[in-house]
Chain A
Amino acid sequence: MLLPMSVSIRIAIVLVLLPLALAGENPEQLPPEQFGLQHLTEYLGLMPGDISFRRDYTEPDSFRFEIVADLMTHPLGMINYCTGLRDAHVKGQPEILAGVLFTDMATEYQSERLGPYHPDITEIQGRYNLYYTNLSLNRLLTRAAVYIDVVFPRSSEMMLAWLSSVQRKFLTNEFRELIVMRQEEESLSMQGLDSLEKLEEKYTEEFAAFGTMIDMDPVVAAGIDCLRELLLEVKALQGMVRSGQMTVADLLKEAGYLPDDFDAETYLGKQSGWKVGGPGDDYYRGDYRFILDFGGDDVYDLTYDPSNPHGVVIIDFGGDDHYRAESDFTCGSGCLSVGLLLDFSGNDRYDARSFGLGSGYFGLGILYDGGGDDRYNGDTHVQGAGSFGMGLLIDEGGRDIYDAALHAQGFGFVEGVGVIYDTDGSDSYYAGGKYKDQLRYEDHYLSLSQGFGYGLRPWMSGGVGAIVDLGGNDNYCADIFAQGCSYWWSLGIIYDSSGNDSYHCYQYGQGTATHMSLGIIVDDFGNDVYYGKGLMQGCGHDYSCGLILDRHGDDTYTAYDLSQAAGSANGAGVLIDNEGDDRYLIRNAKNSQGYGNPRRDFGSIGLFIDLGGTDQYAGNGRDNFYWKTDSKWGGGMDIELQPSDSMKAGD
């Protein structure tokens, strides 16, 4: 059949121009890692797009984040996603990062995103008498009161509107048991462990039946709005004090006249659960709703009762403060509500129990620390951990120490986002050492932390867990499951922009993903050290993609087996090192450095890519070399993407 002339001509022109256009595309102009991926896959009879996983490999569930489901179809898109995350924070404005993360909390089949409860005018006006005389201070307190008294509880009600009272109690009892572990479990018999496992399965199935009725969007959105509004007022107050326009004493000046029958509950800032502290060293103890402290080295002994959920806002302008938890769910913890802890400066110490330090548990928890050398201690679900909500810990500057046991340091559980964003300073991250990994070892501990996404296989997809660290020589130390790692329809990320960093993990880590999930480490600059035993450094197991991308520096990679670009059980493992004189050490070359093993009658994908420098290998690789391993299917290349100019001046 003849085509109409115009269409034929157009096709002819396209056919003539297409090869020219393709010839004009210089692959070496692509970002190095993209060129490497295209080039190596071509060599192996593959395409970058082959790293893709069907959504129907497993039964769908209603808890799956759209961003995770989408990236599963093109996992190499994780690189751009991480870059977006790195660029999402603006110094001094934590609400921006929170807002960006909130957009990624849409689930796959969610048709609309609900906003927070909007109070009517009667709910905003005239609730309190004024105790303080300063207009700016009263404005801050008024805004906080509207959120704490009205918006948070009403938004929480929207979140749980469809749940019965029994189901609501389930959230803080049985569901919590799915997240915490107990050391006593180590001594259980086989039957005991089986019973425990069955009980947890029962809890999971029970929850899966009604969990889809929970919509945490109103609460998370309310918390972000509150943060945005309060920060404007806080900055106005800080500006007044800093400019000398007003002293703190002026700010805290009380009303000249108080009636004889003064009832604190009716006065703004004096209600129960509220405290406004001056510039001296203050001590706070109890279950607070609002604290504003203008400075000094303060001590906070905080409690929270999850059976009586409420919003908590703590604002501390400065000083070397010590925050101590006397219960779970404190210190920037949103439990069925919103928890904001904003500490603007000082060398602070945060000692939480579980569910704190930027923990969103059916809610939003943000800990913002504006500077100083800080120390963060906690147990489980701490330091940027989210389950049906968002947990965010932002630390701007200083040499910080993060210590936790489990499900921590950028941990995203079901419908949860957990992020640590640390802008500067040489930081130490440690996760593990408390709860044994009984399934695999008698002498290793679960971490499930440090940029870790975790779902309950096969019932509920997981969330997004990330650490973004922009500067300093950082140390990351963990044991089992950590460091840009994931399990079951989730995403784990570490993005470290600069510094000579050290990553230490025993198994399942450093850009490793397992069972339908995605894990990635991106490290831009510095001479970095990656050390681990197995399933490390770019390993994807069971329809998963694990990726490690190191863009610059002289790096050292050490592992024993199934690591450094290893695909397992139809997964894909990718290691890309763009520049630098690197060392790659592997103990078992038969399943590493560009390796894929077969499962379900076909292979996995292992891509090992080094694009520059003089490199040393123990394993399959070699400097200036292409290789295919005797596996299904994998290989590697070590080339000079930008060859050094051999011409000398005057030649």
Chain B
Amino acid sequence: MLFSEAMSTGFFNLAPLVVLFPGIGLLFNMVFGGRLPEKVVGWVASLAVGAAFVISILLAVSLSAIHGHAEIVSVTEWMSIGSLHLDWAFRVDTLSVAMMLMVSGVGTLIHIYAIGYMHEDVRFKGDPTRFQRFFVFMNLFIAMMMILVSGDNYLMLFVGWEGVGLCSFLLIGFWYDLDILGRPSLENAKAANKAFIANRIGDFGFLIASFLIFTYLGSLQFDLVFAEVEHVAQPVILTITLFMLLGVVGKSAQIPLFVWLPDAMAGPTPVSALIHAATMVTAGVYLVARSAPLYGTVPAAQEIVALIGAVTALFAATIAVAQYDIKRVLAYSTISQLGFMVAAVGMGAYAAGMFHLVMHAFFKALLFLSAGSVILGIERGYHAMSHGKKGHGFHHTDDEVFNPNDMRNMGGLKDRMPVTFWVYLAGTLALAGIPPFAGFWSKDEILLDASLHYPVVYWLLTAAAFMTAFYMGRQVWLVFFGKSRHEAAEKAEESPRIITAPLVILAGLSVLGGVLNLPHFHTLGHWLEYTLGELRISEFSWLMAGQATLIALFAIFLAWLLYGRREQAANEPDALKKLLGPAFVVFEHMYWIDEGYAAVFINRYKDLARFLAEVIDGRFWHDWLHDSVLAAGFGKLARFLADPVDLGLIDGIANGLADLTQWVASRLRRFQNGFVRSYALSVLLGVVLILGYLLFR
């Protein structure tokens, strides 16, 4: 095939390959992975995702050649039931290609990183055989995510939606039987269940929304659905969008279903980066953007979405300031940033929301991966420490409780892990929204839009942005500056190049990513307009930008005041705790949301279950119905059958038959007496009888 020729017709027919390549990768690793060296397994998986990335680029090029008109590549008919006709079709438009590029691009880097990370992780946990499984799951995730973003109808989107949920479950529970130090524990499995169940609640909403869409709009195919929106009553659309919102808050970890995401950090760090920061959790944002024609018609729904996003952004940010686990901080930060995106798409600022989604994918993946690098460094230090100790015969009481994720065990890593430090700093500044880093441009656009249209949202988000800058500053001071607060941190070592190389690339993207959608140019915004229609693009405001920057800088300064100026001792309470007192405790315990849910929902649910089990099932069903009615009835029937029927009749027949047989046998035995004359007699008897029969019949 000539390249120029392909340029004119486009590479759209290659669209299925974005799913197929990771699929091939996972099948290959599934079948042959066990016999191949780790490097091959890892690189095959990475190349599979990289190939998908290349295809995504070709699609993007083809798309720009035809000025962004959506192309639909139908592979095969999926189902045709009554009026429901669905194809297994890939939708190549600017929105889906943007997502594809982000997913496969970031995915490739994280895969490469994971080769190095998992190599050490599986050895630290003591089960190297799981290396292969990890990459199979990761490829499966990429394939599912690609289905999610490229599907041409809600049902295909749902397939991907459920698929990534499954992969999330599998990967959160990757060390389902081990804790962070490789000791037997079921905490990770519980976290996986929690994520799965919380997502299930959301999926239920999405499913209901899909049913409603099919019922009232007559199809599930995007174009047909959106064409019908005008002809359907507003309340119906409102109901649909709100049910869909339930799916969004489940998948994108918004209030009230965000509780699963912090626990999801139980998965290996590349998983946290890929699934629980960059890609899967943004599926909710993508869904709202994809369903823009639906949300566009009901302002009420938009407001609810925007408010939920904004409240979540602030709420999660406040929790993040009081966390000690380096990944938990990032997890709450992710929830918070997802709140920004959800608020943006809720306000109708789809370009800003998608822009922030992509930028966030860059810097949050970077932060997670760097955090992973930090954790590995600490683990290496811990390892070195334990080995050193054996020689001295020195017993350390902290051994049992040492947590390599705990920032209180870190400090001073700046010099020991310089590459990690610099890329972490880049990510931090991007997240805090310091110009000219990527996060600044995207966050600024959201804030700008909010300030013009939704003042409440604006104030909530600004407060969240302040918090964001603060907790990131706190994290950097605690982790990289000051003195090491634990022996393991003192012995920490820099990670190998296979880990740092992706970090550097991601750091570059975090620094420069903003060029994608600079003010006055709005490259991404105009790109998305092909799909989402005329977008509201607010013009850059120096006032807003300056305001936001100042707030962020002030927050970082505050963090320095508390954590940087004076060194924090190992066992000293958190500096902020002294300042905020009880509020800090509230934040630290995440507002007791888990406990609250446990009290309000889970325990009630358990009570209901117990009620059903003990009263309905136990007392009513078993004790009364079974024991009294059924068992007693059966008992009587059985006794009747046993005594008169069985003993009397059946046994009578059986024994009677036996007796009869015995009697007949005892009679017949006389014939078998060995006397040949008797035998001859019976022959004659037979002759007489047969002749008699023939005569008198």
Task: Indicate whether A and B interact.
Answer: no
List residues of B whose CB falls within 8 A of some A CB: none
